[in-house]
Amino acid sequence: MFADPVRTPELASVIVLSPAAWGGGHPPSDWQIKVNHGKPDISTCRDGKDSCLHLRSVKSSFALERGVEVDPYENRYLAWRWKVTELPSGGDFRSAATDDQAAQVMVAFVDRRVLSYIWDSTAPKGQMQNASSIPFVHIYAVVCESGAAETNRWVPETRDVAADYENAYGKPAPHVKGLRIQINSQHTGTSAESYFGEVVFRNKPQ
């Protein structure tokens, strides 16, 4: 069973990731480490006053995921902060042979469809398209950041998850059932590094 996400009534929000709660770099019981290839390198850190999550990939692919139930029309805005310090050289989600990203935030819905918000090495910011070459696997990618222009600094993001789902799949969004934070560099045989701050669903953009 997954623990309930932290709800903040005065902000009408659902906090999904709070790095400050990760004691000693170990994920809380409601988070799971998923390894696709290689060895995961996960730790917690501080950047000024804020706690953050640190991911480093060396020819590897891994993720952190947790179950969370969110009504995307009640809390439709997904907000997070991320920082990329190393991009996987040659990474480009538009080809399976180069589908590596330093940072991804993936939102899973109860109908098994997924929105993937990515920081891509090559694909242009704003690119939105199907990102799965596997039949019956529905993953729609949104390039939130591209290339090295914003690396080595914290970048805030806010996405209207309900609107992105409607745009991707042509129908109203069902409930969110989970969230995944992912990094990978195995296809390009390179390395990547990223940091994440708090990840939260809100009813208003900020």
Residue 6 lies in a domain: no
Residue 4 lies in a domain: no
Residue 163: the pLDDT is 97
Residue 48: the pLDDT is 81
CATH number at residue 16: 2.60.120.430
Please determine, for residue 184, whether its predicted confidence score (pLDDT) is greater than 80: yes
Residue 192: the pLDDT is 98
143 or 8, greater pLDDT: 143
Residue 76 lies in a domain: yes
Residue 142 lies in a domain: yes
Range of the domain at 36: 12-202
The C-alpha atoms of residue 14 and residue 182 are separated, in whole angstroms, by: 20
pLDDT in tens, 50-106: 889 999 999 999 999 999 999 999 999 999 999 999 999 999 999 999 999 999 999
pLDDT in tens, 154-183: 999 999 999 999 999 999 999 999 999 999
Please determine, for residue 10, whether its predicted confidence score (pLDDT) is greater than 60: no
Residue 25: the pLDDT is 60
Neighbour tally for 42: CB within 10 Å: 19
Q: Kindly report the average pLDDT of the chain as a whole number.
A: 90
Residue 138 lies in a domain: yes
Domain count, the chain: 1
Question: What beta strand segments (E) does the chain contain?
Answer: 6-8, 13-17, 32-37, 41-47, 50-58, 61-70, 77-86, 101-109, 113-120, 128-130, 138-146, 155-160, 176-184, 191-202
Please determine, for residue 1, whether its predicted confidence score (pLDDT) is greater than 80: no
Residue 95 lies in a domain: yes
Question: Which bin fits 92, alpha (ψ -120 to 50), beta or left (φ > 0)?
Answer: beta
Residue 8: the pLDDT is 45
Per the CB < 8 A criterion, the answer to whether 88 and 59 are in contact is no
